[in-house]
Amino acid sequence: MSRKARTALYALGAFLFMLLLIVTMAWQQGIDPFHPRTRMIWLLAVVVALYVSLRGAIFVERLQFRKSQKAAEEGPPSRLSANINDRMAARKARVEAARKKAGKKGE
């Protein structure tokens, strides 16, 4: 599934959930959301629900994409990592590369 399709699926699910929440809230309060006096406020709530569901879906999809990219990353550990083990492994890799380079020059 592509990233756009996944984002659209998340947004649709969140939007339907929010619509259900809005209609349930109106029903519990005994309010008719289609009455001319309150129609615009409920329409605004639907527009806000659409915006929030889109932004939330984009956020969640980006998090998942970054997580999948990080898992697929097979390169050497970064010396700028917050994890001390990654920094030490990066240092050992640099030292080993320097030793190999110095060994080739000495031959």
> Closest Cα partner for 64 from 76, 75, 72, 53?
72
* Threshold 0.95, pTM exceeds: no
> Which residue is listed with tokens 């550990």?
77
Residue 84: predicted pLDDT? 83
Q: What is the pLDDT of residue 80?
A: 73
Q: Which residues contact 61 (CB under 8 A, 6 or more apart)?
A: 3, 6, 7, 10
pLDDT of residue 59: 96
How confident is the prediction along the chain (107 residues), in pLDDT tens digits per residue? 888 999 999 999 999 999 999 999 999 999 888 889 988 999 999 999 999 999 999 999 999 988 888 766 666 666 677 778 888 888 888 899 899 988 877 66
CA distance linking residue 10 with residue 60, whole number of Å:
8
Pick left, alpha or beta for residue 83 (phi over 0 → left; psi -120 to 50 → alpha; otherwise beta).
beta
